[in-house]
Chains A and B, each alone.
Chain A
Amino acid sequence: MANLYRGRNQIMSFRISIPPNRRAALRLLSSVRQQLLAALASETDASGRTQADIARELGVNRSVISRFLSGSRDMMVGNLAEVAWALDREVAITLGEAGSGIKSRDIAAEAVPATVMVNASEEAEKYGAEVYRMETSVSGLTVQLAMSPTPASQSSPTGNPVFLAGE
Chain B
Amino acid sequence: MATLTELQERGRLEEVEDISLVPGQKRRELYIMVPEASDDVRRVVGRYTATWNPSLSISDQMVQLFHDFISGKSLHHPEDFHVLLEVEDGIWELKTDDVRFFGWFPDKDNFVIATVGYADMVKDGKYASFISTALFRRKDLALNDGKFIQGEEPNNVISHFHTA
Q: Which residues of A contact B (CB under 8 A)?
A: 1-2, 4-5, 7, 10-16, 18, 22-23, 26-27, 29-30, 33-34, 37-38, 40-41, 51, 63, 65-67, 69-70, 72-75, 107, 111-116
Q: Are A34 and B164 closer than 8 Å at their CB atoms?
A: yes
Residue B68 is within 8 A (CB to CB) of chain A in the complex: yes
Q: Are B56 and A16 closer than 8 Å at their CB atoms?
A: no
Q: Are B61 and A114 closer than 8 Å at their CB atoms?
A: no
Residue B129 is within 8 A (CB to CB) of chain A in the complex: no
| B55: min CB distance to chain A, Å | 4
For B97, the chain A residues whose CB sits under 8 A away are 72
For B34, the chain A residues whose CB sits under 8 A away are 12, 14
For B5, the chain A residues whose CB sits under 8 A away are 11
| B21: min CB distance to chain A, Å | 6
Residue B42 is within 8 A (CB to CB) of chain A in the complex: yes
Known: A1-B46, A4-B38, A12-B14. A26 touches B67 (CB 8 A): yes
Residue B17 is within 8 A (CB to CB) of chain A in the complex: yes
Q: Which residues of B contact A (CB under 8 A)?
A: 5, 8-9, 11, 14-22, 25, 32, 34, 38, 41-42, 45-46, 53, 55-57, 59-64, 66-68, 73-74, 76-81, 96-97, 162-164
Q: Are B15 and A66 closer than 8 Å at their CB atoms?
A: no
CB within 8 A of A22: which of B60, B66, B163?
A: B60
Q: Are A66 and B78 closer than 8 Å at their CB atoms?
A: yes
For B77, the chain A residues whose CB sits under 8 A away are 37, 66, 69-70
User: What residue in chain B is nearest A110 (Cβ atoms)?
Assistant: B19
For B11, the chain A residues whose CB sits under 8 A away are 12
Q: Are B14 and A14 closer than 8 Å at their CB atoms?
A: yes
User: What residue in chain B is nearest A75 (Cβ atoms)?
Assistant: B55
Known: A2-B41, A13-B16, A37-B74. A63 touches B59 (CB 8 A): no
User: What residue in chain B is nearest A9 (Cβ atoms)?
Assistant: B8
Q: Are B53 and A111 closer than 8 Å at their CB atoms?
A: no
For B163, the chain A residues whose CB sits under 8 A away are 38
| B3: min CB distance to chain A, Å | 12
Q: Are B20 and A113 closer than 8 Å at their CB atoms?
A: yes
| A19: min CB distance to chain B, Å | 10
For A112, the chain B residues whose CB sits under 8 A away are 19
For B19, the chain A residues whose CB sits under 8 A away are 15, 23, 107, 111-114
Q: Are A14 and B32 closer than 8 Å at their CB atoms?
A: yes
CB within 8 A of A16: which of B21, B66, B79?
A: B66
User: What residue in chain A is nearest B22 (Cβ atoms)?
Assistant: A113
